[in-house]
Amino acid sequence: MNDIELFLRISFTGLAIILTGISLASFVKIRKGKLALATVGFGLFAVQGTFLSLGVLLPTIETYISTAMLIAVSLIALIFFYLSILKR
């Protein structure tokens, strides 16, 4: 793994954690269901980024993480984002 990939993995994780925190704080203040869905979406990206970042430190964890699982987590997160912007 090169330095750029490491930087991008850690940056992705940090940004996802920050966005999860901001959307969670907004949800606690406003109490809208759509914000809860967006918070879950950001949280899923944060979990995915955490696993990818841990793969740098613990190479054995990458044996448990498959490409299909990462794609599934991304798809579920995008579904939550879609539901958060869906108009009734």
Q: How confident is the model at residue 55 (pLDDT cuts 50, 70, 90)?
A: confident
Confidence of residue 86 (pLDDT cuts 50, 70, 90): very high
Q: pLDDT tens digits for 18-51?
A: 999 999 999 999 999 999 999 999 999 999 999 8
In the structure, how many helices (H) and strands (E) does the chain have?
A: 3, 0
The domain locations on the chain are 3-85
Sign, Cα dihedral of 43, 47, 48, 54? positive
Give residue 67's pLDDT band: very low, low, confident or very high (50, 70, 90).
Answer: confident
CA distance 21 to 27: 10
pLDDT number for residue 65:
83
The pLDDT of residue 63: 80
Instruction: Give the residue among 38, 37, 47, 58 at the shortest CA–CA distance from 17.
Output: 47
